[in-house]
Amino acid sequence: MKIRVVENVLKANDALAQENRQRLDEAAVRTINLMSAPGSGKTTLLEKTIEQLGAERCAVLVGDLQTTRDAERLEKAGAQTIQINTGKGCHLSATEVARGLEELDLDKVEYLFIENVGNMVCPAGFDLGEHQRVALLSIPEGDDKVAKYWTLFQSVDAILLTKMDLLEVLDYDINRVKADLARINTAAPFMEVSSKTGKGMEQWFNWLKNKQD
Ligand SMILES: Nc1nc2c(ncn2[C@@H]2O[C@H](COP(=O)(O)OP(=O)(O)O)[C@@H](O)[C@H]2O)c(=O)[nH]1
Ligand SMILES: [Mg+2]
């Protein structure tokens, strides 16, 4: 019985996600769902990305349990931003994204970024209607997270190893991460970046612009 309820919730979410995707296709807005642990650098990456792509081409839906802090940061970067507070919810749902889309003027927008609620488990199970999924993984989190949270890393189209400027001060084995990814997801490009120094960011921007390195 419990299983049937969960299946129904997922089915309803998937149907609405499909509607969101259709709407975004019609508006020609490429939509990217960013997922990672809290503090791994999603908002900072988006601040730099908005600056690089041009604020008028970007919109953001940002999910957090509470506060409008991330929305305030991203609005300051110049992008149309809608904050979604999930209360106790550990991930965004297609319903919340549909409501967020109602609030956005997508006329001039080419990129919609969805900053999901920070955690490496729940967001992976919910289609929001995005076109691509990106996982962030930061150096301070430790090099065992791909193996531990493999369902997230298996489901994404690109992986960013963030805060590369901290590599020297923390014990972190990038080869261990690459070996884990070789078992889980070989299709997604793996990019080593630092929003702080700008190192490696060109590869991310090129990926967004559909350019090869
Ligand atoms: N050293 C370093 N710190 C970073 C970098 N990117 C983000 N941070 C810091 O990490 C903290 C969390 O970043 P934030 O973007 O809010 O993470 P989010 O919770 O995933 O959105 C902040 O104090 C940022 O200044 C980076 O590339 N290098
Ligand atoms: Mg954030």
Tens digit of pLDDT for each residue in 74-95? 999 999 999 999 999 999 999 9
Q: Do the Cβ atoms of 29 and 110 come closer than 8 Å?
A: yes
CA 67 to chain centre: 19
Q: Is the pLDDT of residue 192 over 50?
A: yes
Nearest by Cα to 38 from 114, 90, 93: 90
Instruction: Let me know if residue 182 belongs to a domain.
Output: yes
155/1: higher pLDDT: 155
Q: Which atom of ligand 1 is nearest to the CA of 194?
A: 27
Check whether 213 has a pLDDT greater than 90. no
pLDDT score for 1: 55
In a domain, 30, yes or no: yes
Is residue 188 in a domain?
yes
**In the predicted model, is pLDDT for residue 208 greater than 90?**
yes
In a domain, 177, yes or no: yes
Residue 56 lies in a domain: yes
In a domain, 76, yes or no: yes
Chain segment 7-65, per-residue pLDDT in tens: 787 899 999 999 999 999 999 999 999 999 999 999 999 999 999 999 999 999 999 99
Q: Which one is predicted more confidently, 4 or 196? A: 196
What's the gap in Å between 115 CA and the centre of ligand 2? 7
> Does 213 map to a domain?
no
**Separation of CA 16 from chain center:** 19
Predicted confidence (pLDDT) per residue in 95-145, tens digit:
999 999 999 999 999 999 999 999 999 999 999 999 999 999 999 999 999
* CATH code for the domain of 124: 3.40.50.300
48 lines ligand 1 (CB under 6 A): no
Q: Answer yes or no: is 8 within a domain.
A: yes
Ligand 2 center to 64 CA (angstroms): 8
The pLDDT value given to residue 169: 95
Nearest CA to ligand 1 atom 4: 163
Q: What is the pLDDT of residues 51-60, one digit of tens each?
A: 999 999 999 9
Number of folded domains that form the chain: 1
Going by CA atoms, what residue is nearest to atom 26 of ligand 1? 163
Distance CA 109, CA 114 (A): 14
Candidate from 33, 35, 43, 44 with most ligand 1 atoms within 8 A of CB, to mutate: 44
In short, whether 38's Cβ falls inside 6 Å of ligand 1 is yes
Task: Report how far ligand 2's centroid is from the alpha carbon of 37 (Å).
Answer: 10
Question: What pLDDT band is residue 4 in, cutting at 50, 70 and 90?
Answer: low
CA of residue 44 to ligand 1 center, whole Å: 6
Range of the domain at 127: 2-208
For 168-203, b/e burial (b = at least 16 CB within 10 A) is eeeebeeeebeebbeebbeebebbbbbbeeeebbeb
Mean pLDDT of the chain, nearest integer: 95
**Looking at residue 3, what is its pLDDT?**
62
Q: Is the CB of 49 under 6 A from ligand 1?
A: no
The pLDDT assigned to 7 comes to 74
**Looking at residue 59, what DSSP letter applies?**
E
Beta bridge partners of 63: 84
In this predicted structure, the answer to whether residue 72 has a pLDDT above a threshold of 80 is yes
